[in-house]
Amino acid sequence: MTTIFEQPSFIEAATKFFGRQRGPEELARLFAIFRVGEHHAVITIGDWLKSTPELEVKTGFSRLIWDEGRHTQIWTQRMAELISQEAVDRLYPDPRQVAFANTEYFRLWDEYGKADCLPKRLAYIYVVDGWAAIAYSVYLNHIDPVTKWHLQTILTDEHFHVAFGRQMAEKYVMSERDKDLLAREEEKIAAILLNVTDGFLSSEV
């Protein structure tokens, strides 16, 4: 399934954004923003795990929680390597929050947490992580070797998440009602992500 985020216009915009020259402090702030999403995913999918009856989906959610927790740690470690652990503790003490004017980015994670049924939850997994995978694939061409090594690990996980979400949707989203919920949630998430993307491109991060 091709998405709007695989179109040349998105790739070109992402290339311009990630191609900006950034010093250690700017990179640490960017990584702190990335970390917010990873950490929110840990919390939200952990909540989903408790209310999901399908064992196969539960097992996948467990893997996703572990992955997102690892990503949170990776970005934290890279920030500390760039600006010191003391600076991370002082400037970015809470992985759930960061000063960033892109309100749609935080709305995305709020809406993520409101997904109250399996079709909506699976849509968030494969749409949001698909968007992240495309963006990170572009970023691989513009980063230092150490960050690139870490990002390749993250990217492998994102591809797994997308495949998992789609496979579970094909298997468990069967009724017309659930299929409609899935499609509507896809559209809603894509619209939010367009605003999130615009916010990143217009920011000074």
Distance of CA 153 to the CA centre of its chain: 14
**pTM of the predicted protein model:** 0.94
CATH class of 14-202: mainly alpha
Q: How far apart are CA 114 and CA 126, in angstroms?
A: 16
pLDDT in tens, 137-192: 999 999 999 999 999 999 999 999 999 999 999 999 999 999 999 999 999 999 99
Reduced to 3 states, what is the DSSP secondary structure of residue 23? coil
Domain coordinates of the chain in residue numbers? 14-202
Give the helix, strand, coil percentages of the chain, each rounded to 5.
85, 0, 15
Task: Please tell me what DSSP assigns to residue 101.
Answer: S
pLDDT tens, residue by residue, 20-76: 999 999 999 999 999 999 999 999 999 999 999 999 999 999 999 999 999 999 999
Predicted local distance difference test score (pLDDT) of residue 167: 98
Structure tokens at 205: 């991060």
Single out the residue of 200, 192, 162 nearest to residue 34, CA to CA.
200
Helices (H), 4-54: 8-18, 24-51
Residues 6+ apart with CB under 8 A from 83: 24, 25, 28, 91
Main-chain phi, psi angles of 38, to 5 degrees: -60, -45
